[in-house]
Structure 1
Amino acid sequence: MGRTAAPALSRRALLMATAGGLAAGALATRTARAQSAAPALAVTSANADLVADFAWARDQALAWVQTGKDPSYIPSYWAGLTNRPAFYSRDVAHQALGAHLLGLDLENRSMLATFAASATEARLWYPLWSFAFDGSIYRLDYRGDTNFVREIPAVFELTQKGVEQYLWTGDRAYVDDPTLWAYYTNSLDAFVTSHDRNGNGVADEAGTGNIFQGVATYNEGGEKLLEAGDAIGSQYQALLAYATAQKARNDPAGAAATLQRAADLRSHFEATWWSASAGRYIRGFNATGPLTDFGKENSWFMPMKGITAPGPRTDDYLDFVDDSVTALPPFNIEAYTYLPETFFRWGRLDQAWKWLRYVADSRAGYPEVSYTVIGNIAEGLLGIRPNAPAAALSTLPNLPSAVPWLEMDHIPLGGHDLAVRHDGAASSTVTHHAGPRALKWTARFAGEHPSVRVNGRLLPSTIVTDESGRTLSQAVATIPAGGQATAEVAD
């Protein structure tokens, strides 16, 4: 498959041109320094472009690691514009998965804890927007406790991504550490209470459009939104994550109450964020009412976060998002990095692949690009869903026709070292290289199939419906350390 032309890059990406990504010599030096922190993560595939994408992304992502480069630096990696030596909350949230896969767990914990500790009552429970690599406040984005850059979605994304790291690593610090736990709790209680002017349970902002006074959306175009689609979608996912953390802390009653809050928020969204006249979801509200045109992040975050309901509304809205982004002149590459995740979630494999290709082909030096390429291979194409505390995972082949087969090797899942391979849509293999105990693998396949063959043994499949409304057939295998299992659809 020939490589498509890289897209033109705009404001944020153009700033990257001064660094040229990284000069080859500097890239090699930084990669060598960071290599010892990473497992030998590897990708092989029938699609040569995808293999090259991974090799580029792995080296580029490791090159951004800052740990040990200066005695004053905390464990960290670059997450933001490369003319700003800092890490940003929005960027860290989206780089954390790729960082984990590359062995950068210490960095993830360090940076998340730094943001968590900064969310004080004086700041109305917002975390600060950015920090220098030594852990000090990055002053470009901070002028005082009532005058600093802040955007609602980041508040909730840090909670969601912190709990997701617990599921990938099994590290109980992500649910037990007092600073992190207080942050998660405050993000959904004190923060929402402090930012809910109309009392509807949805975090909002004053509608100034000024990022130093607080805005409701990641779209920094100055639009004066009171409530935004990316904020409510992120709030929904944070509630789901918080319930997971409560279960991990042996609080089933609290988890049930939080899941009810999530269900109530989704019901509120479905009832009040749909425009019958426009025939599509509302992306936000300003002082004059609802908006149904295209608003970039505040549009596609709604399906990306799964707050939209399976069915025709979401199907049509995903096409609206795809058509709208395609029709626009290129904008900041950071925003495009979320699009593969949006379409993978809903089983829209061709559209997901289209935008993954766009992001990877850019070869942009903006750090989020390399980290999200890696993350989208694991959770997107391979459909991995982790549960390290239970020594378990599930997989779902999400391969477009351009990728006949794909394998990612040396995937860290808690203390386990795994390989996951899919051959088309109907055959999957997990190799359990090493681990402290046997691994429970749920092999999932799209469609309704009466049986699945696991290591040659025919098993009746369990038919389930996933979060996007897709019908899946699944079977469970237990794989001892050093073992391997192959599951195949057996129609």
Structure 2
Amino acid sequence: MSYEREIESQAGAITFQSSDQDLNEGFVWAKRQALEYAHFGEDPVGLWYEAALPAREAFCIRDVMHHSTGAAVLGLRLHTKNMIMHFAENIAESRDWCTYWEINKDNVPAPVDYESDEDFWYNLPANFDIIDASLRQYLWTGDIYYLNDSKLLEFFELTLNEYTSAWDKDGDGILEYYPEYGRRGLATFNEAGHQPLMGGDMIAAQIAGYRAFVHLASLRGQTETAEVYAAKAQDLEQRYQQEWWNEENGRFFGAKLQDHSFVTGYNAEGTFLPLYYGAVSDPEKLHKALEDVKINRVANVEGKTYLPDIFYRYGQNEEAFNELKELVNPSLERRDYPEVSYCMIGSMAAGLMGITANGASVIRTLPRLAHSLKWAKMGNIPILDRNITIKHTENTESTLTLQSGKPFVWKAAFPVNAETLYHNGIAALTQQETTEGGEQICFISVEVSEGETHHVSTVPED
């Protein structure tokens, strides 16, 4: 069996069942739809999945990075790796250190977005989005490509230096756009209406990119370099939270216009993506920003796919679940857009089931079930070169099985502040953490070997 056929035979092994039949049917649809968009080496570009308008037979940066968690869950991590590799290797001085925004199956820039190195579509948050997604892929897969590949490391370095300098004309540390650029160098992912000097998502993507680079550099032992970019990220976050906060409207400004005035109204990606990127740490402002998104939501289906990620990230389980249910609703307009199926799978695994990893040998689960969802079970989850099954009953019990792979440490967490959890019926002292949303959680660490099943609960068994 060829390399590509082996990958294809293993793709889509993930399973899901729950007490909500609509969600179960939605999962079946999403898995089938996502796999229909996956290609297994029959094209010149190699392994890839569609991450743009379906008719284009192409993948663009923003979509791939947002698809990437769902793709890993579906067993398509090598597809994502191949596409990130193509983006990284095409960064070029002739494009002011941009890469290609969109690449098609023939391994050339998609003609709709590229005429020449002087005329092409590009959203400036993109390079930082690639760095952020590279960290997330490393943490889920443990693939040291994201730590050590020379081309990818070169892309990181060029982005943080030459790219940033080229597009930060005023030298304030934030990339900006000017009308004479045309479609080349848009400083936001919001593609509707005016093109501002910069969007709130531009700053947020830079913060996330810097922080991801810090994490990866620290893992490589580059302490001094990590400290430099940690300081840059901290500075940008402070500036965003202070200079971009609109006290009168109780929200962050979504963009700064060419005359340096701020957009005061809700500004879609410029308003909600900073929450996706984790750019807000001030508890009061974070709360108000989340309430603002709850009220205004998102009009287009691409933007809607971010909402479960955002709400789960900050412990807003009911809101996240409602958004998931909307994404699986057969009547949703443009539900066939690839981002819907991939991101739904990703949100169910990382959000609803609360699965995260550390890139080595620790996997954490944190149940995020809505009140109406009594239980949920996900099986054949590929993570850190292992396969696991996890079942949550309400938010009080979790059962995990290591189906295959080396032993690992299960960090069994729950959204309660308790001193004791019960591992296979035996009381165990917990450790506590505070989440990004200010929620107190507790956990115990359990060593799990192949074939073993472990049960942890917040209450003693009868």
CA contact (8 A) 1:46 1:403 kept: yes
CA contact (8 A) 2:125 2:202 kept: yes
Distance 1:306 1:365 in 2: 28
Q: CA deviation at 1:424?
A: 0.8
Q: CA deviation at 1:349?
A: 1.1
Does residue 482 in structure 1 map to residue 451 in structure 2?
yes
For 1:143-292, list aligned pairs within 5 A.
Answer: 143-207=115-179, 210=182, 212-288=183-259, 289-292=261-264
Does residue 360 in structure 1 map to residue 328 in structure 2?
yes
Q: State which of 362, 376, 382 in structure 2 corresponds to 1:392.
A: 362
Does residue 333 in structure 1 map to residue 301 in structure 2?
yes
Task: Find the residue that maps to 1:302 and give its secondary structure.
Answer: helix
Distance 2:336 2:209 in 1: 29
Indicate the residue corresponding to 2:80 in structure 1.
Answer: 108
For 1:423-442, list aligned pairs within 5 A.
Answer: 423-436=393-406, 438-442=407-411
Q: State which of 296, 316, 320 in structure 1 corresponds to 2:292.
A: 320
Indicate the residue corresponding to 1:458 in structure 2.
Answer: 427
Distance 2:302 2:328 in 1: 12
* 1:279–1:39 distance in 2 versus 1, CA, 3 Å: closer
Indicate the residue corresponding to 1:344 in structure 2.
Answer: 312
Task: Find the residue that maps to 1:66 and give its secondary structure.
Answer: strand
Q: CA deviation at 1:197?
A: 2.7
Q: CA deviation at 1:287?
A: 2.3
* 1:208–1:311 distance in 2 versus 1, CA, 3 Å: farther
Distance 1:490 1:266 in 2: 40
Q: CA deviation at 1:189?
A: 2.4
Same amino acid, percent of matched pairs: 30
Indicate the residue corresponding to 2:66 in structure 1.
Answer: 94
CA contact (8 A) 1:207 1:215 kept: no
Indicate the residue corresponding to 1:21 in structure 2.
Answer: none
Indicate the residue corresponding to 2:101 in structure 1.
Answer: 129
Distance 1:323 1:486 in 2: 39
Distance 2:230 2:363 in 1: 22
Distance 1:155 1:100 in 2: 20
Indicate the residue corresponding to 1:412 in structure 2.
Answer: 382
Aligned residues: 452
CA contact (8 A) 1:208 1:215 kept: no
Deviates more, 1:347-356 or 1:317-326: 317-326
Distance 2:235 2:421 in 1: 37
* 1:420–1:177 distance in 2 versus 1, CA, 3 Å: same
Q: CA deviation at 1:277?
A: 3.0
CA contact (8 A) 1:34 1:63 kept: no
Does residue 421 in structure 1 map to residue 391 in structure 2?
yes
Distance 1:43 1:49 in 2: 12
Indicate the residue corresponding to 1:8 in structure 2.
Answer: none
Distance 1:342 1:209 in 2: 32
Does residue 49 in structure 1 map to residue 22 in structure 2?
yes
Q: CA deviation at 1:213?
A: 2.4
Q: CA deviation at 1:481?
A: 1.6
* 1:62–1:200 distance in 2 versus 1, CA, 3 Å: same
Q: CA deviation at 1:310?
A: 4.3
> Which blocks of at least 5 consecutive residues in structure 1 are unaligned?
1-31
* 1:209–1:447 distance in 2 versus 1, CA, 3 Å: farther
Distance 1:344 1:490 in 2: 24
So what's the TM-score if we normalise by structure 1?
0.88
* 1:354–1:375 distance in 2 versus 1, CA, 3 Å: same
Q: State which of 41, 44, 60 in structure 2 corresponds to 1:68.
A: 41
Indicate the residue corresponding to 1:467 in structure 2.
Answer: 436
Indicate the residue corresponding to 1:29 in structure 2.
Answer: none
Q: List per-residue Cα deviations over 1:21-42 (Å, max 9, x = no partner).
A: xxxxxxxxxxx99851415210
Distance 1:187 1:355 in 2: 34
CA contact (8 A) 2:354 2:365 kept: yes
Q: CA deviation at 1:88?
A: 1.0
Distance 2:291 2:335 in 1: 26
Q: CA deviation at 1:368?
A: 0.8
Q: CA deviation at 1:207?
A: 4.8
Q: List per-residue Cα deviations over 1:177-225 (Å, max 9, x = no partner).
A: 1111111222222222222233222222225684x22211111113131
Distance 1:38 1:166 in 2: 19
Distance 2:459 2:387 in 1: 28
CA contact (8 A) 2:67 2:339 kept: yes
CA contact (8 A) 2:12 2:35 kept: no
Distance 2:210 2:10 in 1: 32
Q: CA deviation at 1:308?
A: 1.3
CA contact (8 A) 2:321 2:370 kept: yes
Distance 1:260 1:471 in 2: 27
Distance 1:430 1:237 in 2: 31
Distance 2:284 2:314 in 1: 12
Distance 1:176 1:398 in 2: 34
So what's the TM-score if we normalise by structure 2?
0.93
Distance 1:58 1:318 in 2: 29
Task: Find the residue that maps to 2:418 and give its secondary structure.
Answer: coil
CA contact (8 A) 1:34 1:65 kept: no
Distance 1:225 1:300 in 2: 16
